[in-house]
Every structure is written in structure tokens, then in C-alpha cells.
Chain A
Amino acid sequence: MANRSLYLKLLSAVIIFGAWEIAGRIPVSYAFPTFIDSMVALFKLAADGTLFVAYAETLKPLVVGVAISTVLGIGLGIWIGLSKIFDWLFSPIFIVMQSAPLAALIPLLVMAYGIGLTSKVFVVCIMAMPVIVLNTSAAVRHTPVSMKDMCRSFMGSRLDMLFKIIIPAASPLIFSGLRLGVSAGFIGAILSELKITPTGVGDIITFSRSIADYPSMYAAIFSIIVLAVLFLNLLERAEQLLFKGNDRGYVSD
């Protein structure tokens, strides 16, 4: 059974990459390189180190932005979840932010903070924070009542309630909010590179496009997608590992 699933996954990869190769040979468009050409370009970029230097540059705003969003987002989310007043004050902002196309704010940020690291970090933050805050506050608010009652019945203090009941119970949802936040942060990082100033991987993309080196351009894009997908999958595995069984222990099945 596991073999069949693996076999089919490989088959589907072969089909898609094969289609890419064929489309490139027809060619579908002068700007559509073959799969093999793109992979060769990818290998070249990796071999001479350009790729890694570029990623170091690209990951800077991403890592900083995600770190800030995590700390601020979880803190704010817990506060909003615990306090009705804060909930009333801040939830609407984040709800609007979540459904709104925040990318529209990028030109504004560029105007205000220039084209350096600051505005890129800002972009990552505004993309990542809403989902982190909303997930955290929802998790805190939905702490099972009987667990809170249990803590009170055994005379737990308010601190006990927060650190021994509410936060551990909310952890799975907080973590999945983090995962969504990282995913949004990725989009923010790439957007800011393509739109604000080309640095890092965004630079490889825009530069190769300008000199019609399409294999390199596609290679760079391919690498971003692979990286993002791998990383997010890793987070998902970690989530399953850390929290297995967490939602099944306290309700009668």
C-alpha cells in the first residue's frame, strides 16, 4: 500500500515534469525553457554559490519578520483571547486585515520606509501577523470549559490557569497559526523582492528575465517553490509529532 502511494507520487511527478519538458521543446513559447534546461541552470546557480548568497539575502527579512510576528502575534493573541476589552478593540482590525489584500499597502510602506530591509520586514510582518493573532486568540478563547473548571475546583491561581491550562491547551492551534503565518510571510518576502528592490532570489529572477536567460529564471522560481513547500511540510510534520493525541484526551470519544 505504501509502495503504491509512493509509486503514484513519483509517476505524477514524472508526468508533470515530462509535460514541462515536452512543452519546452515544442516550444510553447520562446520564453518557456525545457525542464532539463532549467534543472541544469539550477545546478549551475547552486554550484557557483550564487543561489546560496541570494537566499541568505532573501531569508533575512523573512526570518526577522517571522520572528517579530511570532513574538508579537502570539503575545497579542493571548491578550486578546483573555480580555474582552482587548478583543473588542483589536479583533476587528485583524479580521479586516485577514480578508483584505494587504499587498496593496506595499507602495505605502516603500514611500514611508524606503527600499531597504525595514520595509521588507514590515511587509512580512503585515502578511504574517493577522493569521497568527486570530488563531492564537481563538485558541485561547476556546479552552475547554471543564478544564478551566477543573483548575478552579482544585484552587489553581490565575497564573496556574494561564500557564498550566490555557497555553498548553491552545498550543496546537497556535502552532498551526504559526505555520500559516510563515506561509504568508514567504509571500511577503518574495513580493517585496519583486516589487521593492531586487535583492537575493528576486534579483536572480528579474535579472535573468531582463537578459532573457529563461532557464535561470525558472530555476530560481522552482527553487523558491521547492524550499517553501519543503519547509512548510516540515512544520506540519512537527505539528503532528508534537501534538498527537492532544485533542483527544479530555472528551469522551
Chain B
Amino acid sequence: MIVFGYRLPAMASLILWGLLWELVGWMELTFFIPPLSEVLVTLFEIIGTPPFLKALSETAYAFSMGVFFAVGIGVPVGILMGRSRLLDELLLPWVNVFLSAPLTALVPVLMVLFGFGMKSIIITTTLFAIWIIILNARTGVRQINRSLVEMAQSFGASPMDAFFKIYFWAALPEILGGVRIGIIRAVKGVIIGQLLISIAGFGALFELYSSNFLMAHFWAILIVLFAMAFSISEFMAYLERKVSYYAANR
């Protein structure tokens, strides 16, 4: 948008909202909203502290393991579904069910089966991410331009060559798109898992701060969490853009 002839960057309004936050906190309108400056100060205070780092490493561990499994299982399953009609017809209904199901409802089951620990959180994360990854991998394989397939056959490409030199790259933008959305869902999954299981990671910190009414601390880690989630998703979008320059002509 253009003001007085200067082009303002797209996310700049967040600065305005930040100022509003500062004002509201300063006026002490509500106990729950301390001034932004106080939150930021607290943020820098706690970033180096052991509880924070412990929470961060636990969350990061659960998150990366969850994503690892989701991608490691999801992408191959999706590819197989895209290539085998039988498998597709058997599995697709379930993928669709779990895509639209409120996965949160499954967390109690996980807690009961796998206990209150890291295992359940990792499985929650995986479950949140895997369905969209499967779906997009499947779509990526299915929408490979028929002409590319015929081209590979007409030039006598071996199956390995065909897969690694053509099909994989043709399906990649779609697969990456699925992974990006999957990662965003994984972040939600790891948080929801921690909230419901709440003895590890940031979930525990939230409990701690809220029960002691340490508002500035609470908002501080909230901001850290949001910032991390946002940067991860932007990073994925960046990766996707790098690959998608050829996506429009698939």
C-alpha cells in the first residue's frame, strides 16, 4: 500500500499493532496484557535460561521426530497410492477421514496407550502432519503430465532413470507443498500434544507461568512460539518457491 508516495511493506502493520499493544499495556487496561516492552525484556531474560532451553530442546526434538516420521512414512505411502489403483482405493477413504477429523480427539487414546511422555507427543505430531503429506504426494504423482511419461517411454528410459530423473522432479513441487502444510500442522500438533499432556516442553512452561500469573513470561514464550512457527512456514514457502519456478508448466 502506498502512503504519501512511499510504498509500505506488507507486514509493516504489525509494527502498528505492536505500538497499540504497548499503549494498552502501559495504560494497564487489563492485568492480562502487560506492555510489549516488558514482554520483550522478559523474553530476552529467559531465552538463555535452563528451563527455557530445556523446553525448547524438548519441543524441537518432538517436532523434528514427528516431522521425520510424517515425511518418511507419508511421502512413500502417497507415492505408492498415486501409482497403484488398488492401494489408492483401499487407503484413500481413510486418508480423507483423518484429514477432516478432529485429530485432537485421538490424543486421549495416545495418552492411554503410550503414556504421558515424549512418545505420545511425537506420535501426535506425526498424526497431525502425515495425512496432508500423503494426499499431496499422491496428487503430485497423479498429475504428472502424461506427455512426460510418454516421452520417457519413447526414449527408452529405465524405470530407475525415469523415476529419479523425471517423475520425482515433476511431482516435487506438489510434494513440497504438502510437506509445508504438514509442517505447519506438525507445529500445531506438537503444541496441542504438549498442552494436553503437559509435562514436557512449552506446555509445561505455559502451565507454570499461568498458575503463577507471570503474564509477561507467558506472553514472552507465546511470542517465541509464534515467531518460530511463522519462520518455519515462511522458510518452507521460500523452498517451495525455489522449486516451483517450473511448476506452472507441469
- A209 x B112 contact (CB < 8 A): yes
- B105 x A190 contact (CB < 8 A): yes
The stretch of B11-19, B133-141, B147-155, B162-170 in contact with A is B11-19
Residue in chain B with minimal CB distance to A223: B105
The stretch of B65-73, B188-196, B242-250 in contact with A is B188-196
- B112 x A111 contact (CB < 8 A): no
The stretch of B35-43, B75-83, B225-233 in contact with A is B225-233
- B32 x A111 contact (CB < 8 A): yes
B239 interface hit (Cβ, 8 Å): no
- B109 x A218 contact (CB < 8 A): yes
Task: Please report which residues of chain B, range 110-136, place their CB below 8 angstroms from some CB of chain A when the two chains form the complex.
Answer: 112-113
What is the bound-complex CA distance between A186 and B104, given in angstroms?
Answer: 9
Question: Pick the contact of A93 from B17, B106, B109, B202 — CB < 8 Å?
Answer: B17
- B195 x A228 contact (CB < 8 A): no
- A209 x B93 contact (CB < 8 A): no
B159 interface hit (Cβ, 8 Å): no
B199 interface hit (Cβ, 8 Å): no
- A88 x B113 contact (CB < 8 A): no
- B230 x A99 contact (CB < 8 A): yes
Question: Pick the contact of B89 from A8, A85, A96, A221 — CB < 8 Å?
Answer: A8
The stretch of B49-57, B95-103, B171-179 in contact with A is B95-103
Tell me, rounded to whole Å, the shortest Cβ–Cβ distance linking A75 to chain B. Answer: 19
A106 interface hit (Cβ, 8 Å): yes
- A100 x B1 contact (CB < 8 A): no
What is the bound-complex CA distance between A90 and B12, given in angstroms?
Answer: 11
What is the bound-complex CA distance between A186 and B106, given in angstroms?
Answer: 13
Given known contacts A187-B104, A209-B112, A225-B97, A92 and B225 CB-to-CB distance under 8 angstroms: no
Contact with B along A77-117 (1 / 0, CB 8 A): 00000001101111111011001111111111011100000
Q: Please name all residues of chain B whose beta carbon is closer than 8 Å to the beta carbon of A9 when the two chains form the complex.
A: 89, 93
Q: Please name all residues of chain A whose beta carbon is closer than 8 Å to the beta carbon of B191 when the two chains form the complex.
A: 101, 103-104
Q: Please name all residues of chain A whose beta carbon is closer than 8 Å to the beta carbon of B1 when the two chains form the complex.
A: 84-85, 87-88
Q: Please name all residues of chain A whose beta carbon is closer than 8 Å to the beta carbon of B192 when the two chains form the complex.
A: 101, 103, 191
What is the bound-complex CA distance between A224 and B98, given in angstroms?
Answer: 12
Number of B interface residues at 8 Å Cβ cutoff, please give it. 50
Q: Please name all residues of chain A whose beta carbon is closer than 8 Å to the beta carbon of B109 when the two chains form the complex.
A: 217-218, 221
B47 interface hit (Cβ, 8 Å): no
Contact with B along A186-225 (1 / 0, CB 8 A): 1101110011000000000110010000100110010011
Q: Please name all residues of chain A whose beta carbon is closer than 8 Å to the beta carbon of B195 when the two chains form the complex.
A: 103-104, 106-107, 191, 195
Q: Please name all residues of chain A whose beta carbon is closer than 8 Å to the beta carbon of B14 when the two chains form the complex.
A: 92-93, 96
Question: Pick the contact of A15 from B32, B90, B207 — CB < 8 Å?
Answer: B90
Residue in chain B with minimal CB distance to A13: B93
Q: Please name all residues of chain B whose beta carbon is closer than 8 Å to the beta carbon of A209 when the two chains form the complex.
A: 108, 112
**Chain A interface (Cβ < 8 Å from any Cβ of B):** 4-5, 8-9, 11-13, 15-16, 28-29, 31-32, 84-85, 87-93, 95-96, 99-108, 110-112, 183, 186-187, 189-191, 194-195, 205-206, 209, 214, 217-218, 221, 224-225, 228-229, 232-233
11 A/B residue pairs, CB under 8 Å, sorted by A: A11-B90, A31-B112, A87-B1, A90-B13, A100-B230, A101-B191, A101-B226, A104-B191, A190-B102, A205-B105, A228-B100
